[in-house]
């Protein structure tokens, strides 16, 4: 026991101060891809290389519509490799170190662009482009969620609806001394009847569909549901098939989506804070009735 205490005092405080201070990222960390729609001369190679269909193209009458869905993206980097520019040029697709993409609206994770085409199918010109919320808006959401968080504790029931356990590894890391999610008054519970929030991972397998519905029904109101990772948002690499229902929102309502494969602990914390803000809003509505 003395040795344990001695080691504890020698190590000191190891807890990161995220989200008030940015996370420490390893040199080899890879986040989501970033797209320069103006410089993108042809989206077809990236779409063909994408293993989850996160990049899709549709051509009609000399016009191409390109859709980039971060809810399907697994940050593999294949799109960057496929879109490699000629010597001396900057690639229109670049892997970044950005990971804070949690959104309360599924549509916020989808980027779109419209191009006119040359006869050979390459892009002649960008007609329009849309994107999800910027970093400034996301930062405001986090700040508001933290403010709400300080007013009440939160109980989470985690549900594995069919994941590969990659997301579970990151969720477990939330409880270690570095991330220490309990410093916010957030803790995991064994029963949905004691939970304020469901943290759901994996594509919803057909064998787990009924169990997920029953878990959601057993969770008291007000409650929030978070879809974790590309699989939880869209079915990810598995998609929708004979064994998979696809994303969580195909089975139960979802309040927050956290992209990644798997999302790192800070991304999970960001999404939980956003979801907590939605729980608090529901409480405020009921209190004024």
Tens digit of pLDDT for each residue in 30-42? 999 999 999 999 9
Q: What is the pTM of this model?
A: 0.85
- Whether 146 and 266 map to the same domain: the answer is yes
pLDDT at position 19: 76
φ, ψ dihedrals at 60, nearest 5°: -160, 125
225 confidence band (pLDDT: 50, 70, 90): very high
- Whether 178 and 245 map to the same domain: the answer is yes
- β-partners of residue 95 are 33
- Whether 122 and 158 map to the same domain: the answer is no
Helix or strand (DSSP H, E) at 157: strand 154-160
Residues 6+ apart with CB under 8 A from 206: 242, 243, 244, 245
pLDDT at position 285: 47
- Whether 170 and 266 map to the same domain: the answer is yes
φ, ψ dihedrals at 284, nearest 5°: -65, -40
- Whether 185 and 72 map to the same domain: the answer is no
Residue 249 belongs to a domain: yes
Domain that holds residue 87: 33-98+108-130
Tokens found for residue 118: 């040359």
Residue 10 belongs to a domain: no
Q: Which of 78-87, 170-179, 208-217 has the lowest mean pLDDT?
A: 78-87
Residue 18 belongs to a domain: no
Largest CA distance in the chain: 77
**pLDDT tens for residues 183-203?**
888 899 999 999 999 999 999
- Cα distance between residue 71 and residue 257, in whole Å: 8
Domain count, the chain: 2
Residue 22 belongs to a domain: no
pLDDT at 65 over 70: yes
Q: Work out whether the CA dihedral 272, 274, 275, 276 comes out positive or negative.
A: positive
- Mean pLDDT score across all residues of the chain: 85
- Cα distance between residue 97 and residue 179, in whole Å: 19
DSSP 3-state of 245: coil
- Whether 124 and 150 map to the same domain: the answer is no
pLDDT at position 27: 85
- Whether 145 and 266 map to the same domain: the answer is yes
pLDDT at 17 over 90: no
Residue 77 belongs to a domain: yes
pLDDT at 101 over 80: yes
pLDDT at position 25: 84
Residue 26 belongs to a domain: no
């Amino acid at each position: 026991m003395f040795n344990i205490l001695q080691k504890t005092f020698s190590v000191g405080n190891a807890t990161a101060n995220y989200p008030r201070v940015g996370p420490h990222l390893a040199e080899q960390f890879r986040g989501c891809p970033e797209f320069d729609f103006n410089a993108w001369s042809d989206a077809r190679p990236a779409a063909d290389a994408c293993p989850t269909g996160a990049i899709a193209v549709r051509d009609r009458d000399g016009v191409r519509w390109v859709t980039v869905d971060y809810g399907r993206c697994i940050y593999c980097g294949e799109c960057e490799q496929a879109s490699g520019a000629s010597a001396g040029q900057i690639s229109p697709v670049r892997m970044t170190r950005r990971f804070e993409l949690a959104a309360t609206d599924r549509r916020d994770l989808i980027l779109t662009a419209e191009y006119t085409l040359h006869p050979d199918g390459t892009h002649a010109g960008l007609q329009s482009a849309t994107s999800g919320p910027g970093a400034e808006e996301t930062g405001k959401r986090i700040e508001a969620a933290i403010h709400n968080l300080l007013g009440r504790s939160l109980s989470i029931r985690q549900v594995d609806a069919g994941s590969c356990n990659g997301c579970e590894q990151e969720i477990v890391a939330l409880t270690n001394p570095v991330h220490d999610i309990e410093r916010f008054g957030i803790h995991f519970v064994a029963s949905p009847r004691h939970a304020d929030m469901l943290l759901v991972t994996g594509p919803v397998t057909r064998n787990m569909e009924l169990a997920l519905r029953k878990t959601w029904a057993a969770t008291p109101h007000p409650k929030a549901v978070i879809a974790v990772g590309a699989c939880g948002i869209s079915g990810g690499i598995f998609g929708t098939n004979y064994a998979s229902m696809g994303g969580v929102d195909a089975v139960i309502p979802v309040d927050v989506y956290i992209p990644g494969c798997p999302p790192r602990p800070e991304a999970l914390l960001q999404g939980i804070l956003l979801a907590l803000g939605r729980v608090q809003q529901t409480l405020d509505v009921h209190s004024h009735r």
